[in-house]
Amino acid sequence: MSLSAGCLEGVRADWGGCGTDLGAIGVELFITMFQRQDNLLTYFPKLAGKSIDVLRTDANLKEHATKVVSLLNVLVKNADNEAELKSQVEKFAKQHRARKVDPDMVETIFPDIITVVKAHGGTHEDEWKQFLKAFNDLNRSMY
């Protein structure tokens, strides 16, 4: 990903403010997304039909959300490590291609990532938009 040093600095500063409990951040992220677009629950068969209150403590949601946010954590930390970045995004693209979750669908969570980061004091919205776009451009090239 070709991002400026300032962009990466802003993203990393905001991400550092989110804390280290990736599972909790992940659940918060998915709850935010499902509250905004409850129709997305249909893409998660193990979660479909469950209320937001039930989802807050659902082990299946926490497991998936932790994986998603762990990947985001790796991407933020390695955004300037081309080899590691490509390796991680290639795995992600392969997994999502197998589930028929295309890059356009992946983008549906981006506003929610920004919302959660801002809820934890993040102030670099434009940098996050650049970062997430660069990630998904790379994802799209490997999909």
Q: Where are the domains of the chain?
A: 5-142
47-101 per-position pLDDT tens digit: 999 999 999 999 999 999 999 999 999 999 999 999 999 999 999 999 999 999 9
| Opening angle at CA 30, ends 95 and 135, nearest 5 | 50
What would the pLDDT profile of 8-44 be if each residue is shown by its tens digit?
Answer: 999 999 999 999 999 999 999 999 999 999 999 988 9
Question: Phi-psi region for residue 101, left (φ > 0), alpha (ψ -120 to 50) or beta?
Answer: beta
Question: What's the token pair of residue 64?
Answer: 């998936």
Q: How confident is the model at residue 2 (pLDDT cuts 50, 70, 90)?
A: confident
Spatial contact of 124 and 10, defined as CB atoms under 8 Å apart: yes
The tokens of 57 are what?
């403590």
Q: 5-142: what fold?
A: Globin-like (1.10.490)
Nearest CA among 10, 17, 134, 129 for reference residue 75: 134
